Amino acid sequence: MASRPRAAGFTLIEIMVVVVIIGLLATLVGPKIWQMLGFGQKGIAEAKCREYYNDAKRWQLMGPTRKLPSSLEEMVAPAKEGEENFLHKIDDDPWGGKYRLESDGKRVRVCSNGPDGIEGTEDDVCFPELEER
């Protein structure tokens, strides 16, 4: 009497064990991945704030009025003949909001409202930081 060949494949218990292991890994590793994504977005916002800050200082040194710009949009305006166009466009921050330029005429600061999109909260990203001003 010949034995019947065993069917190839996984048993229900083997599949359930794999699903449980994947679930545990997702539970343990998932939050860290989301946290790192948040750090990456904050780093992008900080770099863009620094870049727009440097553009504003360059505008002050080389621009048509020799004054700090009153807004980022002022630096995007088309240049007159013979003048350099400082910015071609202003990117949105990583959370879809707008960057803003704060200036009192002597100092300048560029900020993003951060993940919550509300100005003046603790998650705002600015350059330079208040202590550096």
pLDDT tens digits, one per residue of 99-117 = 999 988 888 999 999 999 9
Tell me which residue has tokens 């603790």: 122
**Second CATH level (architecture) for the domain 29-132:** 2-Layer Sandwich (3.30)
Q: Is the dihedral of CA 122, 90, 62, 43 positive or negative?
A: positive
Please tell me the pTM assigned to this model.
Answer: 0.70
Which helix (H) or strand (E) element contains residue 130? none
Question: Can you give the C-alpha Rg of the chain in angstroms?
Answer: 26
Question: Within the chain, which residues score under 70 in pLDDT?
Answer: 1-5, 63-64, 79-85, 130-133
Q: What is the pLDDT of residue 79?
A: 65
Instruction: Note the helical H segments in the chain.
Output: 12-62, 72-76
For residues 93 and 23, what is the distance between their CA atoms, to the nearest angstrom? 33
